[in-house]
Structures are given as C-alpha cells and as structure tokens.
Chains A and B, each alone.
Chain A
Amino acid sequence: MKHPESKPESVPGEAAIDTGLVETLGELVTRLGLSEIEIERGDLRVRVVRQLSAPVQAVVPVAAPPPPQAAPRPQEPAPVSEAPGTVKSPMVGTAYLRPSPESSPFVEIGSRVKAGEKVLLVEAMKTFNEILAPHDGTVTAILVEDGQPVEYGQPLLVIE
C-alpha cells in the first residue's frame, strides 16, 4: 500500500565533503598496509576502511543533527510478512486490534490461538468484519497498528 510521502528537508549544517582528505587517507591506508584509519577534525570524522578490492569511504558528520525523518510510513511489509502462518487481510478497511477502544486486544505476541478464534477486526463503512485464526498456533508478530488502514492482501499478523 503506498502512502503520501512528505519530502525530507535538507540537512542543516552538512559539511562539504573534503575529497582531498579522503583520497589522502585512502592512499595512506593502502601504502602503510593498514586495514582502516579514522581521523576527527572539528565537526567531521572520517573513517576509511580498506576492503580487498577498493577503499570504502564512510563520511560520518559528528555534530550535525540527524536528518528529520520523513513522516512515519505505517509499515513497509516486513520481511516476516511472507512467513508461513501470515494472515492477510481479505478486504480493504481499517484494522482494529481490540473489540472496542476500552478493551484489551484480542491477541498479543505470544498468545496461543485456536483455529476460528477472533484475532482482529477490519472495519469498512461502519461494518466490522472478524478476522479469524486460520489454524492453531502462537502469535509471533502483529504487523499493523490499532486503527491502521489496510488493503486487500496486506499482512496483518503471523501465527505459527
């Protein structure tokens, strides 16, 4: 499911990369037979690591603030989503983890469930549809948040 992206702002105070410095370090590492070298200069820390093939340069701005994150994207499908035991949404709607706002969730990580047990609700147009466990097992992952929009085929949870 694709969500609207907000554009990340440019990172303030990002140091201009001193390529001359990096090249010098790369050359040093190679000539002196070192595996890596790291120097710190003001805001900038540079580490050059020599691989078997070519030097790999990693520039790590020390004092610069971390770049602002893009608006949190509710779930890229996690690698676990294609695990056997993944329960996918049969419809478009809004997923709810609990029967009502005040109740506890149907299941949690570690919950043991039997086939046919209610594990989630997906609501569309004021109609709540029960998602039932397709087989016995233990809930090992919950892949959606309470109140999250879901699409057809979206992985909801994993019951192993």
Chain B
Amino acid sequence: MFDKILIANRGEIALRILRAAKELGISTVAVHSTADADAMHVKLADESVCIGPPPARSSYLNIPALLAACEITGAEALHPGYGFLAENARFAEILADHHIVFIGPKAEHIRLMGDKIAAKATVQRLGIPCVPGSPGPVTNENEAGAVARAIGYPVLVKAAAGGGGRGMKVARTPDDLPAALEMARTEAKAAFGDGSVYLEKFLEKPRHIEVQILGDGRGKAIHLGERDCSLQRRHQKVWEESPSPALNPSQRAEIGEICAAAMRKLGYSGAGTIEFLYEESRFYFIEMNTRIQVEHPVTEMVTGLDLVNEQIRIAAGSPLTLTQDDVSFHGHAIECRINAEHAATFRPSPGKIAYYHPPGGLGVRVDSAVYAGYTIPSNYDSLVAKLIVHGRTRNEALMRLRRSLDEFIVDGIDTTIPLFQTLVRNADVQNGVYDIHWLEKFLASGGMSEDAL
C-alpha cells in the first residue's frame, strides 16, 4: 500500500480523495494554486505545495509542476480526481516514466476511450451494444449522406475528439446534413483541435443510463449497478439517481454483466463508467469515462462500497474487494449537484459564503469543500456541494431530499438549491418519468419563472 499520495485536483473531489487516503492510513499531499490556498483539503492534508497561479493551465494542468511536487514530497502515487488531467494518457505515461503510480486505468485504455470513434469500435468488438452510425469518421458529404440514409434520419454529427456532450449537431432531414457537418467540423476543430466527425442515429427521447465498473487490471471486473443521469442542462448532469426508475432488476443484471464481461476482456484497471442512451428498452453505448465520476456517491450509497478506496487499492496492486456475487444493492439514492449559480438564470455567483449549514440526519450525505467564510474562486467550476440522499425506497429518498434541501443554507452567494426544491416537487420527477431533454424543456417553458416559483 502507498505511504504517500499526491492529490492532483481541487474542491470537493480533492477532499473526497483525502478522506479515502486518510482512512487507509496514507499520508496526503495537497497541491493547489494560489487561489486555493484556503481550500479545506489543503488545511486537512499532511503536506501542501503551491504549484502555480490561479489559471488551471499554470497549476492543475501544469505537468512539470505536479511532477516536481511529487519529487520534493516523495509522493509515490498520484490521484487525478476528475477533469483536469484525469483522462490524459500522456500524463499517465509521464508519471509511469518517473515511477509514480497513476491512480487510474492503464494509459492505453485512457487513450482508447478518449478517441470516441476507436472507443465505439472497440466496445462493439467486446459485445457492448452501440448506436447505429458511421464506422469511422466521415470525410465528405456523399459518404455522410449514404450513412445517414442507411441508419435513418434524424442523425447526429459528433466530434471524434469530443465528449461530455460537446461538439454535436443534429440533422433532421437530408437537407440539414451539409450545414450540420460544416458547423460540427468547425466547432470540433476550435474546441478540440481535431475536426474529425462521425455520424450516429439521433435518439429522440432517450434516458442517460450509465454503468459503474471496477477492474483489477488482471482480467477480473465487476459492475456496481447503474445511475440514471437523464436530468441535464446543456449536457451537464444536475441530478443523478440509482437505481434507474426505468430499469427492472433483470435488465440491470443483464447490462451490468455485459459491461463487466467487456472490461474483463479488456483487462481494465480501476474505476470506470460506461455510458449509454436507453430508449425503448434498448441500450446504446455513447462513451466510456476512464476515471472516478462526479456522481460516484450515488453508487456508494446503494452498494455500501467506497469507490475511491477501491481505486487506491487496485492501483497498489490489490485484488478487488468483492466478487460480483458479493455486490448487493440496497434502497435508492439521489444526488443533486448544487452550483454557485442563480437557480433560474444560471448566472455564475462566485463570492464569499457568509453562512453555511448543510443538512444532516439518517441517509443524508454532503460532499463539499466549502465552509462559512470560504470564498468561491471564479477561476474554476461552480460546484458548491453535492447533496446525496439515500432511502429504503425511491419515495423515501425523495422525501428525504425534499427535507434536506429545505434545511440547506448557503448564504452570501446564489445557489441552484431552489431549482432542486422545484424539481423534487415536480410530478414527472417524482414519477421518474423523464428523458435527457426533459429539464431543458421544463426550463424553457418557464418551470423556474417567478410565477412558477
């Protein structure tokens, strides 16, 4: 087991990693930009190193600074969290060259899944169902038109180097296709430096359902159930729950085993999530995330497993703690991502938190790095806290969520708590009847207007 881990991230996930490391008796090194000198995880870590000025590229993305910080502290392993360098294959390789263990999957798998076209081809070979689409990038209009005719309109033009919902354009009819191709290519080139695009069938009202897996890197892998993350705004998840209201236990077991089997064949190491669109009882692979995800607590509440603990153990060479038969699912969990934004306009609201009271009680978990007097820096994401509730049933979880949201005080900045207070009282949400377009439609039709609130 490691003696010392360097936490290469910030905010709530850095605190999350610190907690898991401490519980394993591992020393912690917090690296931070000058803007994060007062961060909670910096206060709690055994050692800290300031690695640069506020901009991420000079600090949290600064590979030489991170390596130097490992060197001067003697950290033998590094946890990248999510975002930043978590899915940077080159970074994983550089760490390996310097004999520092990257707490994450093998670099080759990060690279494989980062290329959305190659990822799709690979998982198809591994038995995972995919969205019908072009076998590779489309280079000209004729080719695109032929593929689109074959898979049937509407079609989606997607950036090969994209992901996370970015770089996608819909073409509903053959007439729309040339413009969609052009726009997607231009955006892709600007955003990702790579204008390659591919085509997929556009699903009208799918749900976003993802499966959590763990692999030991030596051919064993298990699944830990699914999360339904359909409630999204601008392709950003805001509310996640497990199990999905749309699946029954046998569907869960089936898709879970398909994913676990694929990961066994791949020899995947660490935590990962396989994301699907689900429509009319069919699963369609969209992408795989080779890292711990923001919404991992939802799975932890339902399975009782500490996923960051598992990541650290796997990286240290231990076998998986559980076999598939040992994994059991209890009750229902829901997570709300509370951001420092106005709940109706989503205008960012960085600033000082004057008063902070998080909710508590049975089945209530708050993953947050903020505290009274803390100033949210404006340089990074606006996540204030993740509120996660667990109940024996979905209804109990919903009541608990409603109660905890009403108890949650964050004074001094705007937060999206009112959005969740509205959602938890909404009939569609309460019935679990929603798809990936539901939230945008709800907001567009005035769900958070002054009259409605």
Interface positions of A (Cβ within 8 A of B): 1-4, 91-94, 124-125, 149-154
Contacts and interface: CB of A to CB of B under 8 A. Distances in A.
Contacts of A92: 49-51, 65, 68-69, 72
Interface in B17-60: 27, 30, 34, 42, 45-53, 59
A149 B34 contact: no
Nearest to B43: A2
Contacts of B42: 2
B347 to A, nearest CB: 32
Contact of B49 (A4, A125, A151): A151
Given A125-B98, A149-B73, A2 B68 contact: no
A93 B72 contact: yes
14 contacts: A4-B46, A4-B47, A92-B50, A92-B65, A92-B72, A94-B72, A125-B64, A125-B68, A151-B49, A151-B50, A152-B50, A152-B53, A152-B65, A153-B34
Interface residues of B, number: 23
Interface in B63-105: 64-65, 67-69, 71-73, 98
Contact of A2 (B45, B64, B67): B45
A124 B48 contact: no
Contacts, number: 59
A1 B64 CA distance: 18
Given A152-B65, A153-B34, A124 B49 contact: no
Contacts of A151: 48-51, 69
Contacts of A124: 64, 67-68, 71-72
Given A1-B48, A94-B72, A152-B65, 13 more contacts: A2-B47, A92-B65, A124-B67, A124-B71, A124-B72, A125-B64, A151-B51, A152-B49, A152-B50, A152-B52, A153-B34, A153-B50, A154-B50
Contact of A93 (B45, B46, B53, B68): B68
A92 B64 CA distance: 9
Contacts of A91: 64-65, 68
A1 B53 CA distance: 14
A85 B52 CA distance: 20
Interface in B343-383: none
A3 B68 contact: no
A93 B65 CA distance: 8
A93 B52 CA distance: 12
A124 B53 CA distance: 18
A151 B36 CA distance: 14
